[in-house]
Amino acid sequence: MTMRFEARELKTYIETVPPHQLVEGDVYVSVSYVDDELVHPMLLSLVFVGTNLEPGDQDKYYFQDLESYAAGVRYATASEEAPATFHTGDIINSIQLYDQALDELLRCSLRRSGAVGT
């Protein structure tokens, strides 16, 4: 059995989710790169857990690793016994919906094959 993935038009740039469209509890993907040529991607599946969770926070977005979130760990309950990884700061600039991340990986595949430049 084979599957066919329908052709799609790709934008030339990475698309991200505008912060005002984030939904608490939804899963997002972060695609970033370890190299300047953008051919070695790193992927993170993250859950948006809220904004300004600490006193003094201002426009700070919190994302949690999917594994600990799925295990029931939450920001308020994370501990050494129930660990979780939280991301804030610049991670907001790489948060994508699944299809946006897929498009970015397709662009990466084209760069890796030499079909397009960075």
Instruction: Say which residue, 83 or 5, is predicted with more confidence.
Output: 83
Predicted local confidence at residue 91, as pLDDT:
94
pTM of the predicted structure, to 2 decimals: 0.88
Nearest partner of 54 among 88, 104, 21, 11, judged by Cα: 88
Q: pLDDT tens across 12-60, in order?
A: 999 999 999 999 999 999 999 999 999 999 999 999 999 999 999 999 9
Q: What angle do CA 108, 109, 111 make, to 5 degrees?
A: 65
How much is the pLDDT for 117?
A: 57
Quick: pLDDT tens for 59-80. 999 999 999 999 999 999 999 9
Name the residue ranges covered by the structural domains of the chain: 19-113
Calculate ∠ Cα 11-95-83, nearest 5°: 155
